[in-house]
Structure 1
Amino acid sequence: MLSNKIIYPLLLSLISMILPTCFFSGNDRKNDPSAQTPPPVERLYASTWSQDFYAMMKYVHLYDEIHPFLYNLEGGRSNTGRILSVWKKDEIDERIRWLRLMSPRTLIIPTIFRWENDFEKVSDVIGLNGNTKVRDLHIQNILKEIDTYGYDGIDIDYEGMTCEKKEVFQEFLILLRDELHKKGKILSVAIHPKTVAEKPSVYPCKGLKSPIQVDFYEAYRGQLTHDYEFLGKVADKVKIMAYELHPRKQGFPGPGPQAPDWWIDKILEYAVARIPNEKLYMAIPTYGYDWALHCQAETKSVYYSRAKWIRERMAPRKEEPTDVLEIFKTQPKAADWTYLRPYLYRHQGHVYSDPSLWYRMGGCDRVAFYMNRSAFEKKMKILDKYKIRGFSFWQLIEDNDPEIHKYLEEKLGPEFSEVH
């Protein structure tokens, strides 16, 4: 059951709502064309992934679609075809109804996630090694879940797949798309970022019928499997995950912003030539990381509360915009920053709109990059320039900068500024 923390703040809003129009069954949503095709408007469409149900309840009215980050694959190196939810069945039913109640116009398209590692693979579910029985079972389980809870579609987020899975992944998506469209449902696919390669090449991959044409710089396993032109034809919505340019780990490529403006621009330059603008979304991070610069210490995620704590408690050097090379030149003892110094070349020619905090804690110099309204606005202007369909968040949580939500209310217009 929902806690009082969620129910009480919402009661006043709920009194004014017409309940029968909000509790859609799966068939109601399927037969309502407006539920699947938003009316044409001159603005970016708002989308988000989220694991935070309270944040979803609070802000769902701002979004045209929302991806509850609910599902993963059953099985490790091999898959059964079944999907597992982080919510219990009765929780799914109740929470989806609450989200419908809070914002009937918002499409609910949950995500199935799997990041490949040594112990967890995307294999049988996409028909690898001719295992079409498990693949077909996987598709049927997805359709059953959609029918059970009245979802508007499904979001496939299969990341880091090795290159030999490219062709069977594509076959899986075609089959899934066809079955979804029979029901009037949406196929959304989350994909790895790519930028234009200076010199195209060919990548032979064992297990494929033909080598991969590599016209992108990031020739990694995930990027090799996600073919932009194919996905632009097959998927209804394509969402580029533009973050983790500077990951949590210490070492290469060192500290920096998650999605600097120049990188977003280069990703879109590549993407719009291959994916129809009306299908294309750019996913922007709402977080950053806090790295140690010269000692072995934990790297921490930075959302609004941690950035605020550092500003108020640690007397940091505050930089916005951030010129990493200038900071390195002017900060005392910067030569000791062994986790930044080897990678200074990566910041050559870049001044970031992303804010940063440089401080000392427990005898260790640290830097925290984070996202605020100003940096977010600048990234949104790049999306506007390319006239793509919309943006996505990774991720919507209560600890995002509240000014970002205010900005969304202002940008989307007064009709989205309150629960309705």
Structure 2
Amino acid sequence: MILMLSTNPVFAGSRKNNNLRMNAALGIISSQAAADAGKKRIVSGWLPGWGQKDGLNTINNNSGVINELSPFWYYLNTAGGVSGATGTGDPDVINTARSQNQIILPTISNAFDGSRVVRVIRDPAKRGLLVNNIVSLVIQNNYHGIDIDFENVPAGDRGNFTAFIQELGRGLHAQGKLLSVTVMPKLSEPGNPNAGGSASQDYAAIAAAADRVRIMAYDYHYQSGQPGPIAPAEWVDRLLAFAVTVIPKDKLELGVPTYGYDWAPTGGKTNGRAIIYGKAQQLSAQFGQGIKVDAGSSSPFFNYEAGGVTHHVWFENAQSLSAKLDLVNKYDIAGIAIWSLGKEDPANWQVIKDKLHR
């Protein structure tokens, strides 16, 4: 924001009065910025069924910090129904979440298979049946709501996907339940039709129907691609700059990663393997490679040699998370959604407490 002082005597008083007005305006701006930075923001976390033990340890070690939990428990099956995945309904998870007053929003995924989704959403009758089944699932299990993570939906089904989200939102809201929708990252509408289904997701329409919109701001460099930062801060900044123009800030959660990739050329291709924070630390120590930080992305990385092959490791830690939390405060959005709970840098939690006031 730029403050300009008029030289027109009708609008301009003495230099002293101008200075007073400027100081007052700057005071208002500074107070508002401080208030935004001091907000207690949402901390959501996805809990994959295959890592529930580690995730529960994280939750118990940080009681009161996480206030929304999305167990990764359900998936859209090939018949267009909802099935349970590994760990579904684990009473330890439910009891822990309830004891900490967490909002429980289990995730329904489509196993990255867009064809499962289109078989349902193109048919109004099947779409309505799926909506009813999801609402019943939420009510029967006394969840607070549901999180939808449908990826790789074709761009041509943008209208059908919007209709599904709108119908599901109405069905859940009629029962006093919440709808969260997890979406692909993009810098403009409609998005890249070849980027995981982002073009099928109308941010504004989804936000109007949902209570939460979680942007998966990661995999900028992905497992089967070239090495590089997973969630570079400068890219996340641009994602949020666009997102807040079409999604209400109080509904917007930034998806933040806790993992990394170890890339190595194999058969003429650079293939990556997913690694956790602890594995990155172990590899760095094992091969005597100090961890560096890329200034532009605020992301840690290192290289090492093994078996005559050069490996390139990029991962996420408390320092890279801190840069993204600064952006959460900069854009004054609702909070973050962590993929995933368990196996993260333990120092993440102090950063979250400090910057999100949890």
Q: Quick one: distance in 1 between partners of 2:136 and 2:349?
A: 34
* 3-state SS of paired residue (2:347): helix
Q: Quick one: distance in 2 between partners of 1:81 and 1:143?
A: 15
**Equivalence map 1:254-273=2 (5 Å):** 254-273=226-245
Partner of 1:276: 248
Segments of 5+ residues of structure 2 without an aligned counterpart are 1-37
Residue 236, structure 1, aligned to residue 211, structure 2: yes
**Equivalence map 1:21-420=2 (5 Å):** 42-51=39-48, 52-60=51-59, 61=63, 62-75=65-78, 80-87=79-86, 92=89, 94-103=91-100, 105-117=101-113, 120-126=115-121, 128=122, 131-196=123-188, 214=189, 216=191, 220=195, 222-250=197-225, 254-293=226-265, 299-320=272-293, 322=294, 351-397=296-342, 399-411=343-355, 413=357
- The answer to whether the Cα contact below 8 Å between 1:188 and 1:235 also exists between their aligned partners in 2 is yes
* 3-state SS of paired residue (2:89): helix
Please give the per-residue CA displacement for 1:139-192, whole angstroms capped at 9, x wherever unaligned: 121122112211100101111110121111111111111110111100100011
TM-score, scaled to structure 2: 0.81
Q: Measure how far apart 1:372 and its partner are.
A: 1.0
Amino acid at match of 2:344: N
Q: Quick one: distance in 2 between partners of 1:175 and 1:295?
A: 48
Q: Quick one: distance in 2 between partners of 1:284 and 1:272?
A: 17
Q: Quick one: distance in 2 between partners of 1:115 and 1:165?
A: 18
Please give the per-residue CA displacement for 1:193-245, whole angstroms capped at 9, x wherever unaligned: 1114xxxxxxxxxxxxxxxxx46567646121111111121111000011111
Q: Quick one: distance in 1 between partners of 2:221 and 2:236?
A: 14
* 3-state SS of paired residue (1:359): strand
TM-aligned CA distance change 1:367 to 1:298, over 3 Å: same
TM-aligned CA distance change 1:139 to 1:226, over 3 Å: same
Q: Quick one: distance in 2 between partners of 1:362 and 1:221?
A: 34
Amino acid at match of 2:76: L
Q: Quick one: distance in 1 between partners of 2:135 and 2:310?
A: 51
Q: Quick one: distance in 2 between partners of 1:410 and 1:382?
A: 14
- The answer to whether the Cα contact below 8 Å between 1:64 and 1:106 also exists between their aligned partners in 2 is yes
**Bigger mean CA deviation after superposition, 368-377 or 288-297:** 288-297
Q: Quick one: distance in 2 between partners of 1:167 and 1:100?
A: 35
Q: Measure how far apart 1:57 and its partner are.
A: 2.3
- The answer to whether the Cα contact below 8 Å between 2:113 and 2:151 also exists between their aligned partners in 1 is no
Please give the per-residue CA displacement for 1:331-369, whole angstroms capped at 9, x wherever unaligned: xxxxxxxxxxxxxxxxxxxx3311101110111011100
- The answer to whether the Cα contact below 8 Å between 1:57 and 1:102 also exists between their aligned partners in 2 is no
Query: How many pairs were matched up?
Result: 314
- The answer to whether the Cα contact below 8 Å between 1:66 and 1:108 also exists between their aligned partners in 2 is yes
- The answer to whether the Cα contact below 8 Å between 2:80 and 2:117 also exists between their aligned partners in 1 is no
TM-aligned CA distance change 1:171 to 1:294, over 3 Å: closer
Please give the per-residue CA displacement for 1:102-151, whole angstroms capped at 9, x wherever unaligned: 41x21000001015448x5312332x1xx222222211211221122111
Please give the per-residue CA displacement for 1:14-44, whole angstroms capped at 9, x wherever unaligned: xxxxxxxxxxxxxxxxxxxxxxxxxxx8222
Aligned-residue CA RMSD (Å) = 2.2
- The answer to whether the Cα contact below 8 Å between 2:190 and 2:199 also exists between their aligned partners in 1 is no
Q: Quick one: distance in 1 between partners of 2:320 and 2:196?
A: 30
Q: Measure how far apart 1:405 and its partner are.
A: 2.2
TM-aligned CA distance change 1:387 to 1:154, over 3 Å: same
Q: Quick one: distance in 2 between partners of 1:135 and 1:275?
A: 25
* 3-state SS of paired residue (1:121): helix
- The answer to whether the Cα contact below 8 Å between 2:289 and 2:302 also exists between their aligned partners in 1 is yes
- The answer to whether the Cα contact below 8 Å between 2:76 and 2:111 also exists between their aligned partners in 1 is no
TM-score, scaled to structure 1: 0.70
Q: Quick one: distance in 2 between partners of 1:274 and 1:187?
A: 18
Q: Quick one: distance in 1 between partners of 2:304 and 2:196?
A: 36
Q: Measure how far apart 1:394 and its partner are.
A: 1.2
Q: Measure how far apart 1:98 and its partner are.
A: 2.0
Partner of 2:27: none
Segments of 5+ residues of structure 1 without an aligned counterpart are 1-40, 197-213, 324-350
**Bigger mean CA deviation after superposition, 255-264 or 142-151:** 142-151
- The answer to whether the Cα contact below 8 Å between 2:155 and 2:193 also exists between their aligned partners in 1 is no
